Amino acid sequence: MELSVVMPCLNEAETIETCVRKTIGFLEDNGIDGEVVIADNGSTDGSQQLARAAGARVVPVADKGYGNALMGGIRAARGRYVAMGDADDSYDFTTLLPFLEQLRDGADLVMGNRFKGGIEPGAMPPLHRYLGNPVLSFVGRLFFGSKIGDFHCGLRAFRKDSVMRLGLQTGGMEFASEMVVKATLAKYDIREVPTTLAKDGRTRPPHLNTWRDGWRHLRFLMLYSPRWLFLIPGMLFMLVGLVAGVALSFGPVRVGDIAFDIDTLVGAGAALVIGFQAVLFALFTKVYAAQEGFLPPDRRVDRLTSWWTMERGLVLGGLLALGGLCGLVVSLLHWRINNFGELDPRESLRLVVPSATALALSFQAIFASMFVSILQIRRRQHPPISDAVDEAAVVVDAAADRVAAEGVEGTDARVPAGREGDA
């Protein structure tokens, strides 16, 4: 079978029959060997019976959620290619031919673009049309280097084997983003064709929740991009903290009528520590995600972790700690010169704050090197250790059983011969 058209369904009695009939008509008119699969997510309005009567195959999916329903339908699909779309009659399933042609041409994933194809008045809320979808699609392109203009278009088609290799996990509306993100990271051939969006034919409210599902999409995009979630903010914090800290360590800095002094130095030290911690979290996330298969391996991270062994981390951390301790010793000598009396904070803190910051960074570097080494431990299953005596005993027992069996067979063969002689 060439094409399976999968539609998630949860109480779509008003439109499901129309969608199925349009799709079957499209398959027949174009001579396509295909099927319609309804991934039912627990409908209680008779959608299942209407879909079957219209000619679809209904697959019940117990786990709730848009993504769960679609994955259930995709797994059950018999076609080499799979197209998916909502069962609310907002997408025109008679226009699937451009999607199929791109798949036949070698594409792994073909996305629809509603902004290029046309959105009918009232088909998409203004908040989604002018803010939600454009912003989230821009974030997806920025974070992952994707060229897709409409990350959340519900009408799309793909090679079933290609999508199954992605190991999609999300069960909610963010499933739409996960498919594009993982296909992009896997270097799939992703193409885009214009498609239209019509006002849906149902009278009930949509399942989509603007703020909840919008946040879930944004959260997914951030979690799958450690670079933008941790690394870039961490580098900015480190840069600001380092530049400000070095400048203020030698005295106040004036910018116009504003003077930056000790208070700013303390903040700079904190920014440096926070930024360094964020950069380490980026490293941890990349190593763990690559080990578990959530993200593809990163050559730069591999080179860094192969160089940054636990031993090198201990050395670097030790050097930072030594620098911090030297600074604290100097500050103690400065206090001793003043007979351990009251000190001017503007002088003493210029030694103490950088020294304390160096000590904090040293311990972070040491612990980070240990943790990265733990993450890189490979899980292996070794064969059980066997005792040589036990192995020899097993061999002897097997030989004895074989000899005994041969003796029994010889006895059975001789008995009938003796009886024949007696007769």
- The 10s digit of each residue's pLDDT in 304-335 is 888 888 888 899 999 999 988 898 888 888 77
Long-range CB pairs of 282-289 (<8 Å, 24+ gap) are 282/226, 282/227, 282/229, 282/230, 282/231, 282/234, 283/368, 283/372, 284/368, 284/371, 284/372, 284/375, 285/226, 285/229, 285/230, 286/226, 287/372, 287/375, 287/376, 288/375, 289/226
Burial (CB count within 10 angstroms: exposed 0-12, middle 13-18, buried 19+), residue 357 = buried
- The 10s digit of each residue's pLDDT in 173-226 is 889 899 999 999 999 999 999 999 999 887 777 777 788 888 888 888 888 899
Instruction: Quickly state the pLDDT bin for 291 (edges 50, 70, 90).
Output: confident
- The 10s digit of each residue's pLDDT in 83-133 is 999 999 999 999 999 999 999 999 999 999 999 999 999 888 888 888 888
379 pLDDT higher than 70: no
Q: What percent of the chain is modeled with pLDDT above 70?
A: 88
In order of their start, the domains of the chain are 3-223 (3.90.550.10), 226-375 (no CATH)
| Range name among 23-37, 244-258, 333-347 with the lowest pLDDT average | 333-347
Average pLDDT, the chain: 86
48 pLDDT higher than 70: yes
258 pLDDT higher than 80: yes
pLDDT of residue 210: 80
**Averaged pLDDT, 54-69:** 94
Sign of CA dihedral 70, 72, 75, 78: negative
Instruction: Quickly state the pLDDT bin for 351 (edges 50, 70, 90).
Output: confident
Q: What percent of the chain is modeled with pLDDT above 90?
A: 54
**Averaged pLDDT, 20-46:** 95
pLDDT of residue 397: 66
